[in-house]
């Protein structure tokens, strides 16, 4: 992706698509905040809410802490002073008004996003970030925490690539886990061998079974997995760690 050519609308749309997939991964326990925080070139933040206002940072990944030149413990201790120290007051008020409107909509499929300037580094240099917000669900109770992902506008290309890789792998596993759970131990073994390029004859000789039995296994595997190509078989085998790259 050429970040010099991407428009604000295109960047917003891209980040929105990724954010929804990310939320599904978190709610489905496919990966944790630390998984995401360690991979993304941007800030991953969880804020405590009080009367629709962010009042305390409960979590910030290492990338975000480094950009702000403070440890997570120091940022947590700042509480309300955090917003004064790193952000433009007028932008913070607009942000809070937007959160109030977002909350009142009661649309769990929606998110709130905006561009903002953040004071980063030792000298508090101002840089532009695209920030996406999503309330974390708390059963039937009103949301009490908010997840934010804030990425530098200049780093959107790197963010897109790394997040796409993380999501693609975990979402694929989630969608296909039921198929994987239906496989027998022998079928998993055969999938691994097929993905490594072994023929039916190779399988027959190495597993000490007839070629007819091998073909029966292959037929059952095709039926269970509904795969249409050898490339799809390899992708499945890698995703479920039946073979290594």
Residue 3 lies in a domain: no
Instruction: Name the nearest CA neighbour of 120 among 88, 160, 90.
Output: 88
What is the maximal distance between C-alpha atoms in the chain? 75
Residue 245 lies in a domain: no
Percent of the chain having pLDDT more than 90?
28
> Can you name the residues that pair with 147 across neighbouring β-strands?
46, 134
Residue 175 lies in a domain: no
95 and 38 in a common domain: yes
Give the pLDDT of residue 55: 67
Give the pLDDT of residue 4: 41
Instruction: In whole angstroms, give the CA distance from residue 199 to residue 220.
Output: 17
Instruction: In whole angstroms, give the CA distance from residue 113 to residue 111.
Output: 7
192 and 160 in a common domain: no
225 and 136 in a common domain: no
Last residue of some domain: 141, 169, 197?
169
What is the phi/psi pair of residue 144, to 5°? -120, -5
Give the pLDDT of residue 42: 80
This model's pTM is above 0.95: no
197 and 154 in a common domain: no
Residue 178 lies in a domain: no
Regions in the chain scoring below 50 on pLDDT: 1-6
162 and 138 in a common domain: yes
Last residue of some domain: 142, 169, 196?
169
Secondary structure, 3-state, 160-177: HHHHHHHHHHHHHHHHHH
204 and 113 in a common domain: no
Q: What is the CATH number of the domain that holds 203?
A: 1.10.10.10
Residue 123 lies in a domain: yes
pLDDT in tens, 208-231: 999 999 999 999 999 999 988 888
14 and 101 in a common domain: yes
140 and 88 in a common domain: yes
> Can you name the residues that pair with 120 across neighbouring β-strands?
125
Domain limits at 158?
8-169
Q: What is the CATH number of the domain that holds 12?
A: 3.30.450.20
Instruction: In whole angstroms, give the CA distance from residue 174 to residue 29.
Output: 10
Tokens of residue 234, six digits: 């390899």
Give the pLDDT of residue 150: 85
> What are the DSSP calls for the chain, one per residue?
--TTT--HHHHHHHHHHHHHHHHHHHHTTSS-HHHHHHH-SSEEEEEEEETTEEEEEEEE-HHHHHHHTS-HHHHHHHTTHHHHHHB-HHHHHHHHHHHHHHHHHT-TT--EEEEEEEEETTTTEEEEEEEEEEEEEETTEEEEEEEEEEEEGGGHHHHHHHHHHHHHHHHHHHHHHHHHHHS-HHHHHHHHHHHTT--HHHHHHHHT--HHHHHHHHHHHHHHH---SHHHHHHHHHHTTSS--
137 and 99 in a common domain: yes
Residue 145 lies in a domain: yes
| CB-based contact 90:78 (threshold 8 Å) | no
Residue 2 lies in a domain: no
105 and 48 in a common domain: yes
| CB-based contact 243:219 (threshold 8 Å) | no
* Structural domain count of the chain: 2
29 and 80 in a common domain: yes
Residue 23 lies in a domain: yes
Last residue of some domain: 169, 195, 213?
169
pLDDT in tens, 140-150: 677 778 888 88
154 and 55 in a common domain: yes
């Amino acid at each position: 992706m050429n970040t010099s050519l991407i428009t604000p609308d295109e960047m917003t749309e891209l980040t929105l698509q990724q954010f929804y997939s990310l939320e599904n991964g978190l709610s489905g326990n496919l990966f944790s905040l630390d998984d995401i925080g360690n991979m993304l070139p941007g800030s991953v933040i969880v804020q405590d809410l009080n009367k629709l206002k962010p009042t305390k940072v409960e979590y910030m990944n290492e990338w975000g802490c480094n950009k702000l030149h403070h440890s997570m413990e120091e940022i947590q201790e700042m509480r309300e002073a955090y917003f004064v120290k790193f952000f433009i007051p007028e932008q913070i008020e607009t942000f809070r008004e937007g959160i109030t409107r977002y909350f009142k909509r009661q649309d769990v499929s929606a998110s709130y996003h905006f561009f903002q300037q953040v004071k980063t580094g030792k000298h508090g240099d101002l840089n532009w970030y695209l920030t996406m917000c999503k309330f974390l669900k708390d059963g039937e109770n009103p949301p009490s925490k908010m997840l934010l992902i804030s990425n530098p506008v200049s780093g959107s290309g790197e963010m897109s690539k790394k997040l796409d890789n993380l999501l693609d792998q975990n979402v694929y596993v989630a969608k296909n886990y039921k198929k994987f759970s239906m496989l027998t131990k022998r079928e998993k073994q055969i999938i691994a061998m097929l993905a490594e390029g072994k023929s039916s004859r190779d399988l027959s000789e190495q597993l000490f079974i007839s070629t007819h039995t091998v073909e029966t296994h292959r037929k059952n595997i095709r039926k269970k997995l509904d795969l249409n190509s050898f490339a799809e078989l390899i992708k499945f085998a890698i995703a479920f760690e039946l073979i290594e790259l």
